[in-house]
Structure 1
Amino acid sequence: MNKVAIVTGGSRGIGAATSKLLASQGYAVCINYLARSEDAEKLAAEITADGGKVMTYAADVSEEADVIGLFDAAEKMLGPVTHLVNNAGILFTQSSLVDLSVERFNKVMLTNVTSCFLCSREAVKRMTQGGAIVNVSSVASRTGSPNEYVDYAASKGAMDTLTTGLSLEVADKNIRVNCVRPGFIHTEMHADGGEPGRVERLSPLIPMKRGGEPEEVANAIAWLLSDEASYVTGSFIDLAGGK
């Protein structure tokens, strides 16, 4: 099977590390992004220089028409999509729940959950010969992220449930659906939440006493996508240093 992977939110952080790793393993990779065209093109140039096959595609994956366009473009340029990484996600400035606006809550749910639903639905429709999906959730789905990101945590909890339900629906279609739950990873997302040094602040509370790297999460994603995990579906891998 010609391996073709779409990585949503693939231009930075965990998405970028995953795109790079999959390309090095022989996947043709479609890097999806929303606004970071410069980052996406730079990453694609690095992958191409290393001999990988890659394309970039701008799409808002919370919009149905954009998702269909993304899959159509990837199929036209790279071939039928066989693997999907639902990595696109957002969070906003740290806040308690009582101070959240409904607009913020709905935006987080739309970006993090609806995108996962739309991309998964489109992938399943097209994976007629089987395939694999990995959803990038968060350890926040277990902790609830009180006084910081309850809305983000709730969206990741929804992703966990979607993973479980979809994995059971498509298990007999040779499509595997699994999930990784990173926590305390050194990415730019913490700056989006207003605290670039959050991982350093919390490191003493982590059993392993350090934050994780995007590449460590990418390794788990790549394994779950691979044939080495051929009997694994509906499973979760937490990458949070023991937290």
Structure 2
Amino acid sequence: MTTGKLEGLMMDKRVAIVTGASRGIGAAVARRLAADGLAVVVNYVTGQNRAEAVVRDIVAESGHGVAIGADVSDPADAAALFEAAEAVFGGVDVVVNNAGVMQPGLVSLADTSDDLYERIVSINLGGTFNMLRLAATRLRDNGRIVNFSSSVVGLRPAGYAVYAATKAAVETMTAIFAKEMGPRGIAVTAVAPGPVGTELFLTGKTPEMVERIAAATPLGRLGTPEDVAGVVSFLVGGDGGWINGAVIRANGGMV
């Protein structure tokens, strides 16, 4: 575990863990929640320098953040992440399960290797499961959980069978976990972004491919990390408490 510098910590703040928050959508979510007044745990696996840069951005805007390394696909690491967050901030109110991997381009089910299958399942599904199981007992009452799915669940494009299957499972767990956590006032939702112009999404795609994907949305553009962060901000904020068990398809109208 590696923690970043804290300045002027206020223990009465709501506290959010954002997994996979060293770059892309996760980093945008971490910055947005800090701007909303939450103390934010910026989780990373290998991107320590990037995670600490996110924390510096947060502190520069008078927010509170800490970078903590943990592989949430490992149950022990996921538990240690909660323990570190509690040690630094005193408790956890919000969990955003953003950590995930995409496959390297289109891969048919028949061509999916054991290693690729296990990697996608262990991180996308296993990591979310580990964090939800811990949140069931470690999250403070009246908290919020936001899981990350993907619009490929509805689009069902060829070449994404395993990836889409993990995200469909996340959506199912979201709906069921919302019922299980409701008595404690904890709302559980999922966000399913469409194509977003992140490093992860753009890697391996030609400019022509990116242009074609952007044109497929009614709004005619790729989403931005900030577009998605705004949705998460609403779900964990004061106006989002009556939304529970829902999947928000933040995809510019792509169907």
* TM-score bucket (shorter structure): over 0.9
1:195 paired residue number? 205
Task: Tell me by how many angstroms 1:237 deviates.
Answer: 1.0
1:100 paired residue number? 112
Identity between Structure 1 and Structure 2 (%):
37
2:247 paired residue number? 236
Higher mean alpha-carbon deviation, 196-205 vs 20-29, is at 196-205
Q: 2:55 aligns with which of 14, 31, 44?
A: 44
Q: 2:229 aligns with which of 207, 211, 218?
A: 218
User: In 1, Cα distance between the equivalents of 2:95 and 2:44?
Assistant: 14
Does residue 122 of structure 1 match 2:109?
A: no
2:156 paired residue number? 144
Does residue 69 of structure 1 match 2:80?
A: yes
TM-score of the superposed pair, with normalisation by structure 2: 0.91
Task: Tell me by how many angstroms 1:201 deviates.
Answer: 2.6
TM-score of the superposed pair, with normalisation by structure 1: 0.95
Letter in 2 for 1:78: F
Task: Tell me by how many angstroms 1:206 deviates.
Answer: 1.4
Does residue 86 of structure 1 match 2:97?
A: yes
2:174 paired residue number? 163
Q: What whole-Å deviation, never above 9, does each CA across 1:53-100 have from its counterpart, x for those lacking one?
A: 000011100001101110000111012100000000001212122111
Task: Tell me by how many angstroms 1:127 deviates.
Answer: 2.3
Q: Secondary structure at the match of 2:29?
A: helix
Q: Is the 8 A contact 1:185 1:199 kept in 2?
A: no
Q: What whole-Å deviation, never above 9, does each CA across 1:26-63 have from its counterpart, x for those lacking one?
A: 10000000001111111111111111100001110000
Q: Secondary structure at the match of 2:196?
A: coil
5+ residue gaps, structure 1, are none
Letter in 2 for 1:116: T
User: In 2, Cα distance between the equivalents of 1:92 and 1:158?
Assistant: 17
User: In 2, Cα distance between the equivalents of 1:239 and 1:227?
Assistant: 20
Task: Tell me by how many angstroms 1:167 deviates.
Answer: 0.4
Q: Secondary structure at the match of 2:165?
A: helix
> How many pairs were matched up?
241
Letter in 2 for 1:106: E
Higher mean alpha-carbon deviation, 48-57 vs 125-134, is at 125-134
User: In 2, Cα distance between the equivalents of 1:200 and 1:50?
Assistant: 35
Q: Secondary structure at the match of 2:197?
A: coil
Q: What whole-Å deviation, never above 9, does each CA across 1:109-152 have from its counterpart, x for those lacking one?
A: 110011111111111211242210001110011122312x2221
Task: Tell me by how many angstroms 1:196 deviates.
Answer: 6.0
2:217 paired residue number? 206
Runs of 4+ in 1 over 4 A off after TM superposition: none
5+ residue gaps, structure 2, are 1-11
